[in-house]
């Protein structure tokens, strides 16, 4: 429903109706709670309106030769956004307040008092629990000579009426790679400029090499380890001396920053850093009854990451006396370009710190489905502890990556190592047979020297324990 009772104390107020906020509000309503949901922009947040939904719709439309992929994307996105908006407006237990919320330093009994700036003036919301799900905003940089009218971030990208002739993408993360693939597929000339020496720099070079080779084969110009120094009359001059002519659109995709200002964090005494609101994996902040989930915490900056924590916040608020669930499971990440990329586990930097490990690399064309489908750009990299084969990190670039990664997510969540995955049977000929091959390779690498492996594993664990203490 629209509007709330400013004098009443609600069980929970949720700030922000994006992925994290909707998960929290709808989840709590499932327990019969009345929730006030405050949103100043569009219901659905970035994901529905300017993020995952339009980007994946555009990728699919581009891959399937849709005659007007941008219009198709807007139409589908608007359908979903309207549906979500209606669902919230009509929800009996959710009171939607359209405006921008700030925490205050005031309490009313057990309740936190939240101020909301609406078109009709300021109103107050009283709630025992406040879930901050304020999201993030696209970062931008100034480039000398760049005409503002040429610039978009993901927040305006899907509104451009026609595909550019020549798109310059600044940045090399998930949005940059996905949009390079989508626009290249619909005939736009695409150049991507990234400061770091690799795209998707959080991934392993074995994976990013595959992604880069694929992007080049799609006709995307990759300019890595360099920057755009200036843009004159549609010509971008890079620090490495390259000049890219005829640029008519610049997509800034250099990262996202949590939207921290105007949340009233100082007033309410909620700990935060420039990277985000500090919260544990239940969403608990430094203030009792104030929670934070999603991009505003700066943690995973993904819809599923926001959702995973928000689901736990819901449990913590609705069922405070139930035994706690076990710790937050492994959170995979995925990039939906060509090839799809997905990974799960500790970071590549943390992997590097572990000496007692084996690395298994299997190319898609090492297994038969790669052969029948002629897959050139596909690889699985698994880093495992020696002896046990405990999964430290797994990354897949190739068809089915985002679905296949779940096998590793489940393995990590339940402590199942590659040694035990040796006996797992995958359908033939599926892409997932790369996992069988990795398990075989691990067995081959270790079976004749199990005592050595055991010692290496034990010493490695001891070293890490010693370092920590």
Site residues (CB under 8 A) for a second copy?
Answer: 19, 30, 47, 52-53, 56-57, 59-60, 76, 80, 302-305, 307-308, 325-326, 328-334, 336, 342, 368-369, 371-374, 400, 402-407, 409-411, 413-414, 416, 420-421, 423-433, 435, 444
How far lies 345's CA from each of 355, 360, 459, in Å? Answer: 16, 15, 21
C-beta of 156: minimal distance to a second copy in Å?
Answer: 20
Q: For residue 83, which of 44, 39, 54, 37 has the smallest C-alpha distance?
A: 44
- Between 80 and 278, CB nearer to a second copy: 80
**Strands 243-244 and 235-238: what pairing?**
antiparallel
C-beta of 56: minimal distance to a second copy in Å?
Answer: 4
- Between 134 and 305, CB nearer to a second copy: 305
Q: For residue 420, which of 400, 438, 402 has the smallest C-alpha distance?
A: 438
| Cis amide bond preceding 429, omega within 30 | yes
C-beta of 118: minimal distance to a second copy in Å?
Answer: 30
- Between 227 and 437, CB nearer to a second copy: 437
- Between 166 and 256, CB nearer to a second copy: 256
C-beta of 53: minimal distance to a second copy in Å?
Answer: 6
C-beta of 328: minimal distance to a second copy in Å?
Answer: 8
Its sign, for the CA torsion 148, 153, 156, 157, is: positive
C-beta of 454: minimal distance to a second copy in Å?
Answer: 15
- Between 76 and 259, CB nearer to a second copy: 76
- Between 324 and 459, CB nearer to a second copy: 324
Distance of alpha carbon 2 from its chain centroid, rounded? Answer: 30
- Tokens read off for 311: 């689901």
Q: What angle do CA 109, 113, 114 make, to 5 degrees?
A: 165
- Between 45 and 264, CB nearer to a second copy: 45
Rg (CA), the chain: 24
Whole-angstrom distance, CA of residue 317 vs CA of residue 110: 14
For residue 382, the cross-strand partners are: 360, 394
C-beta of 270: minimal distance to a second copy in Å?
Answer: 25
If phi > 0 it is left, if psi is from -120 to 50 it is alpha, else beta; for residue 231 that is beta
Cβ atoms of 417 and 385 closer than 8 Å: yes
C-beta of 406: minimal distance to a second copy in Å?
Answer: 4
Whole-angstrom distance, CA of residue 129 vs CA of residue 124: 14
C-beta of 149: minimal distance to a second copy in Å?
Answer: 29
- Between 262 and 428, CB nearer to a second copy: 428
Instruction: Find the largest Cα–Cα distance for the chain.
Output: 75
HSE-CB at 399 with a 13 A cutoff on CA atoms is 11
- Tokens read off for 256: 């996202």
At 442 the three-state DSSP class reads helix
Distance of alpha carbon 92 from its chain centroid, rounded? Answer: 31
Cβ atoms of 360 and 442 closer than 8 Å: yes
Query: Exposed, middle or buried, 241 (CB in 10 Å: 0-12/13-18/19+)?
Result: exposed
Secondary structure E strands in 206-350: 221-224, 228-232, 235-238, 243-244, 249-252, 256-258, 272-273, 276-277, 290-292, 333-335, 341-345
- Between 145 and 429, CB nearer to a second copy: 429
- Between 236 and 405, CB nearer to a second copy: 405
C-beta of 336: minimal distance to a second copy in Å?
Answer: 8
- Between 227 and 420, CB nearer to a second copy: 420
**Strands 276-277 and 228-232: what pairing?**
unpaired
- Between 229 and 403, CB nearer to a second copy: 403
C-beta of 400: minimal distance to a second copy in Å?
Answer: 4
C-beta of 437: minimal distance to a second copy in Å?
Answer: 12
């Amino acid at each position: 429903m629209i509007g709330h009772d400013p004098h009443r104390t609600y069980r929970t107020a949720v700030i922000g109706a994006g992925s994290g906020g909707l998960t929290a509000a709808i989840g709590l309503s499932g327990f019969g709670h009345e929730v006030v949901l405050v949103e100043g922009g569009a219901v659905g947040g970035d994901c529905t309106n300017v993020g995952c939904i339009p980007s994946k719709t555009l990728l699919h439309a581009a891959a399937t030769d849709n005659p007007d992929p941008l219009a198709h994307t807007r139409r589908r996105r608007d359908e979903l956004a309207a549906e979500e908006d209606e669902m919230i407006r009509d929800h009996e237990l959710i009171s939607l307040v359209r405006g921008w919320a700030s925490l205050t330093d005031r309490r009313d009994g057990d309740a936190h008092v939240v101020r909301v700036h609406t078109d009709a003036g300021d109103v107050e919301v009283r709630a025992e629990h406040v879930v901050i799900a304020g999201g993030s905003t696209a970062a931008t940089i100034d480039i000398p000579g760049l005409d503002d009218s040429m610039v978009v971030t993901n927040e305006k990208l899907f509104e451009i009426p026609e595909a550019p002739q020549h798109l310059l993408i600044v940045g090399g993360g998930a949005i940059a790679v996905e949009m390079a693939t989508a626009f290249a597929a619909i005939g736009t000339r695409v150049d991507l400029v990234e400061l770091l020496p690799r795209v998707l720099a959080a991934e392993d070079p074995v994976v990013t090499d595959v992604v880069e080779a694929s992007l080049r084969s799609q006709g995307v110009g990759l300019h890595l380890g360099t920057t755009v120094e200036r843009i004159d009359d549609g010509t971008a001059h890079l620090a490495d001396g390259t000049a890219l002519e005829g640029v008519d659109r610049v997509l800034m995709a250099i990262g996202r920053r949590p939207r921290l200002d105007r949340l009233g964090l100082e007033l309410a005494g909620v700990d935060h850093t420039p990277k985000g609101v500090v919260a544990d994996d239940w969403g608990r902040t430094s203030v009792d009854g104030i929670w934070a989930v999603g991009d505003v915490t700066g943690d995973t900056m993904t819809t599923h990451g926001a959702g995973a924590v928000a689901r736990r916040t819901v449990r913590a608020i609705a069922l405070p006396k139930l035994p706690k669930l076990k710790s937050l499971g492994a959170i995979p990440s995925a990039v939906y370009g060509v090839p799809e990329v997905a990974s799960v586990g500790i970071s590549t930097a943390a992997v590097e710190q572990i000496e007692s490990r084996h690395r298994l690399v299997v190319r898609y064309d090492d297994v038969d489905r790669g052969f029948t489908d002629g897959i050139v750009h596909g690889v699985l990299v698994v880093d495992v502890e020696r002896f046990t084969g405990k999964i430290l990190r797994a990354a897949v670039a190739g068809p089915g990556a985002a679905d296949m990664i779940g096998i590793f997510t489940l393995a990590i969540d339940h402590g199942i190592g590659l040694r035990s995955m040796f006996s797992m049977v995958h359908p033939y000929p599926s892409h997932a047979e790369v996992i069988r091959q990795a398990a075989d390779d691990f067995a081959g690498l270790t079976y004749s020297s199990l005592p050595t492996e055991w010692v290496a594993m034990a010493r490695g664990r001891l070293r890490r324990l010693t370092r920590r203490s």
